[in-house]
Amino acid sequence: MTHDSPRPARIAHVGIAVQSLAEILPFYRDLLGMPELQLADADGAKIGAVQAGDSLIELLEASSSDSPIGKFVAKRGPGIHHICFAVDDLDATLARCKQAGVRLIDETPRIGAEGKRIAFLHPSATGGVLVELSDF
């Protein structure tokens, strides 16, 4: 691999919508032995994060019922909400998706919970999976 080869995308985190952080965090932290990390709140959700190798599991608890996670849990119950892929060149990847007709939720990247730039793609274009892309 040359120095200029793009790095392959990796799973940055899996976002899981939960009813109660306090209730579910001990499962990941204490029973599965995943170290806990502190992350800032984002998009109207409190985030509890645990480390799974090079990836994170982000446990998302709605701060209000009209937040995206609040609406998701009301409609579908708790469960996997989105998957975030870190890509080598976020701007180029977004441009490529847009050109291919993939519907973007975020036309321009914004700062996510990990402090990196992120952008969401619409699940209608990704086989029903809410995909988040982030800087590496």
What residues make contact with Co ion under the rule CB under 5 A? 15, 84, 132
Query: Which tokens go with 38?
Result: 């502190």
Choice between 5 and 136, CB closer to Co ion: 136
Residue with smaller CB distance to Co ion, 132 or 135 = 132
Q: Strand pairing partners for 79?
A: 17
Task: Name residues whose C-beta falls within 8 Å of residue 17's C-beta, 6 or more positions apart in sequence.
Answer: 60, 62, 69, 72, 73, 78, 79, 80, 81
At position 51, the amino acid (one-letter code) is: Q
CA nearest 85: which of 49, 130, 123?
Answer: 130
Min CB(3)–Co ion separation in Å: 30
- Smallest distance from the beta carbon of 54 to Co ion, in angstroms? 15
- Which residue, 84 or 121, has its beta carbon nearer to Co ion? 84
* Torsional class of 66: left (φ above 0), alpha (ψ -120 to 50), beta (otherwise): alpha
Smallest separation, CB 64 to Co ion (Å): 18
Nearer to Co ion, 61 or 132 (CB): 132
Residue nearest to Co ion (CB): 15
Residue 50 CB, nearest distance to Co ion (Å)?
14
